[in-house]
Structure 1
Amino acid sequence: MPVAAARPIALSATERERLKKMAYGHKTEHRLRIRALVVLHASRGRSNARIARETGLHLDTVRCWRGRFADRGLHGLTDRKRSGRPPSFTALQVAEAKALACQLPAETGVPLSRWSCPELARELIARGITGTVSASTVRRWLVRDALKPWQHRSWIFITDPDFRSKAARVLDLYVRLWQGRTLGADEYVISADEKTSIQARCRCHPTRAPGQARAIRVNHTYGRGGALAYLAAYDVHHARVFGRTEPRTGIDPFMNLVAQVMTREPYASAKRVFWVVDNGSSHRGQKAASG
């Protein structure tokens, strides 16, 4: 039985350049790299048998991609669309899952404040909406939806009657304004706050390094070394951070932070330095202001 002749391949300069990038590019997928190599070999007039030997591919594989390129060009080297596995869930089941996610659990008699994906999956099975369904499948359905009405945000009602005027002063300082005038080069804005109860811990046993077929080993138990407070000040316009640790928070520790910043240049000789703080007890009241 006669063997079909190999399809002749003639490449344009553009096609050859793109095929070389596919064949020798560092980020090219392996399957595309092999297909590009087959076509490049074929463009040099080599037989399918020789290409198969040099690339380690089956003769039918070489013949397939050579013919695909001869028929469709570069588009012939991409995978054809496949039907894939039939869906396990209907569009109606997915819609019912999303509708359930939009309801508060209390409305359906479930003793929860908010739905989680595992709880939604259990509820869908209990109601007979679906058969066995995993929490990851439910999560994937919800992520793909464009609106996501089940998501929520919390907020805090402002109770300070002077909030607008206080916020206006802070926001003006952040854009280098004070009482309608632009701050000078020798005027600075510092934002400060503190983080309380930072625990110092140490492992009771040393961590074991990873080895062959063995993950790193970290002892679960630890010893407590007390707690510290971290106080930080940030120069808003020059991106400078100043920090210190103290045994506890309070007016005196905060004043130590102020002294740490204000005794350094350029703040020590500045015309004015504005400090932006919250209403915490460490910097509220006449004692803190006079300190």
Structure 2
Amino acid sequence: MGRPPEVFVRPVTMSEGQRLQRIGRTSKDPVKLRRAIVVLMSAQGQSVPDIAHLLDCSPEYVRGVIHDFNDMGFDALNPKWSGGRPKTISEAVRRHIRLIARCCPRDLGLPFSTWSLSKLAEHLVASGVVASISRESIRQILRAGGITWQATKTWKASNDPDFITKMRRVLELYDDPPDDGRVVCADEFGPLNLQPRPGNAWRRSGHPVRLRATYNRRGGVRHMLAALDLASGKMIYRIRERKRSGEFLSFLKVLRARWPGEKLYLILDNFSPHKHPDVTSWAAGHDIELVFLPTYASWLNWIESEFAALRYFALSGTDHRSHTEQGEAIAAYVRWRNARAQPKRDFAPESTIRTWTGYMTNVA
């Protein structure tokens, strides 16, 4: 059997040669680049075996590229991907699979409340949606439809019939503090018990921080009563063993002494000690207006975000062995924070709560 006849590209013009060189310098597509080099080397008179040896490919591949270029010109350089095997599951069936995945299995008469990929595949086959399907195929179908595995979370709507009125009152105090006084947000933070607290830290890969485990916590708990002054952005707090009406009333007296001669607009949640007769009567007699939030709407209290920061920066990743040690850590953080405090303005300026005219009430 003799050698195959030599194959070369047709004669190329000067502009075609320049174009091939430009593709060889700039193409980011490896297939197009490889084919352009084959054509350019053949145009320079190199044989098929030499090109195949230099490019580490088969002579059949080189001959195929040359024949394609001779037939189609530069269109032969662009890779033509076939797209793989045709889909065996139609788009309508894929939509139906995504719909079933979003349903609760109990609604379909099955004795479980959530899907696994195996259970979903078994149900699809048993119900005649598909003849057969793998878990990976289901995963790809769901991902392509924007359906991901997510944790179920709870939410609670306010059942306060005066929600809108109370919310607007709080927002008015935030947006336009009265000239005759000072707006202060108050709440309790805790319980502060002695326990290792998980947190995050920069560490070398594979060397995480380890904290002890606790089985018995005999140190008792403490509670932090805190207030946020919106005019200065500073926090005032006291740590007490209890958070009854007596402790809260004592904290009110601390706030009253801090700003003598000014009316205080104190924004509070509906915790029962805040509404104790001793508290309300004393506040009324000492120029303190208690502004209560709607029920189940503690997110309207501006101090909640400060508590989240305190928990993250002062307590996360710690393992305090005494309340004195823990209290010193909190005190150090609050001093650091107050030294950098700025007046509080623009509460949730882009939130949809600014445009609410109604609210879901009496949610079961």
TM-score, scaled relative to structure 1: 0.54
| Equivalence for 1:104 | 104
CA distance in 1, matches of 2:86, 2:139: 20
| C-alpha distance 105-165 of structure 1, shift in aligned 2 (>3 A) | farther
Q: Is residue 2:5 matched to residue 1:3?
A: yes
| Equivalence for 1:20 | 25
| C-alpha distance 136-169 of structure 1, shift in aligned 2 (>3 A) | farther
What is the identity, as a one-letter code, of the residue corresponding to 1:130? V
Does the 8 Å CA contact 1:199/1:225 hold for their aligned counterparts? Answer: no
CA distance in 2, matches of 1:13, 1:169: 73
Does the 8 Å CA contact 1:200/1:225 hold for their aligned counterparts? Answer: no
CA distance in 2, matches of 1:71, 1:165: 79
C-alpha deviation, 1:36, in angstroms: 2.9
Aligned residue runs from structure 1 range 224-239, under 5 A: 224=212
CA distance in 2, matches of 1:73, 1:194: 76
Q: Which ranges of structure 1 fall in alignment gaps of 5 or more residues?
A: 173-177, 181-192, 202-208, 210-215, 228-233, 236-240, 278-291
| Equivalence for 2:129 | 129
Does the 8 Å CA contact 2:17/2:40 hold for their aligned counterparts? Answer: no
Does the 8 Å CA contact 1:101/1:120 hold for their aligned counterparts? Answer: yes
What is the identity, as a one-letter code, of the residue corresponding to 2:62? V
1:160-214 Cα deviation digits (max 9, x unpaired): 63334445666x5xxxxx649xxxxxxxxxxxx999865469xxxxxxx9xxxxx
C-alpha deviation, 1:123, in angstroms: 1.3
What is the identity, as a one-letter code, of the residue corresponding to 2:77? L
Does the 8 Å CA contact 1:35/1:77 hold for their aligned counterparts? Answer: yes
Does the 8 Å CA contact 2:196/2:211 hold for their aligned counterparts? Answer: no
CA distance in 1, matches of 2:191, 2:96: 45
Give the aligned CA root-mean-square deviation in angstroms: 5.0
Partner of 1:50, secondary structure, is helix
Does the 8 Å CA contact 1:39/1:65 hold for their aligned counterparts? Answer: yes
Alignment match of 1:244 (pick from 314, 318, 334): 314
| C-alpha distance 102-78 of structure 1, shift in aligned 2 (>3 A) | same
- Give the number of the structure whose residues are more often strand, by fraction: 1
What is the identity, as a one-letter code, of the residue corresponding to 1:3? P
Q: Is residue 2:73 matched to residue 1:69?
A: no
| Equivalence for 1:41 | 41
| C-alpha distance 159-82 of structure 1, shift in aligned 2 (>3 A) | same
Partner of 1:107, secondary structure, is helix
| Equivalence for 2:334 | 258
C-alpha deviation, 1:154, in angstroms: 6.1
Structure with the bigger RCO (C-alpha within 8 Å, sep 6+) is: 2
| Equivalence for 1:79 | 79
CA distance in 1, matches of 2:5, 2:104: 70
CA distance in 1, matches of 2:172, 2:136: 46
What is the identity, as a one-letter code, of the residue corresponding to 1:122? E
Alignment match of 1:163 (pick from 159, 164, 167): 167
- Once the two structures are aligned, what percentage of the paired residues are identical? 19
Partner of 1:82, secondary structure, is coil
Does the 8 Å CA contact 2:20/2:40 hold for their aligned counterparts? Answer: no
What is the identity, as a one-letter code, of the residue corresponding to 1:113? S
What is the identity, as a one-letter code, of the residue corresponding to 1:138? I
| Equivalence for 2:299 | none
| C-alpha distance 155-105 of structure 1, shift in aligned 2 (>3 A) | same
1:27-61 Cα deviation digits (max 9, x unpaired): x53x4443232123224333333322322332221
Q: Which has the larger radius of gyration?
A: 2
1:54-109 Cα deviation digits (max 9, x unpaired): 22332221121123233334431233343743444455643442342343322211
1:224-248 Cα deviation digits (max 9, x unpaired): 2559xxxxxx99xxxxx88333647
| C-alpha distance 252-58 of structure 1, shift in aligned 2 (>3 A) | closer
Does the 8 Å CA contact 1:200/1:224 hold for their aligned counterparts? Answer: no
- Give the number of the structure whose residues are more often helix, by fraction: 2
| Equivalence for 1:118 | 118
C-alpha deviation, 1:116, in angstroms: 4.2
What is the identity, as a one-letter code, of the residue corresponding to 1:244? A
| Equivalence for 1:175 | none
| C-alpha distance 156-79 of structure 1, shift in aligned 2 (>3 A) | same
| C-alpha distance 3-55 of structure 1, shift in aligned 2 (>3 A) | same
Partner of 1:79, secondary structure, is coil
CA distance in 2, matches of 1:78, 1:169: 66
Partner of 2:103, secondary structure, is coil
| C-alpha distance 125-3 of structure 1, shift in aligned 2 (>3 A) | same
| C-alpha distance 142-168 of structure 1, shift in aligned 2 (>3 A) | farther
What is the identity, as a one-letter code, of the residue corresponding to 1:54? L
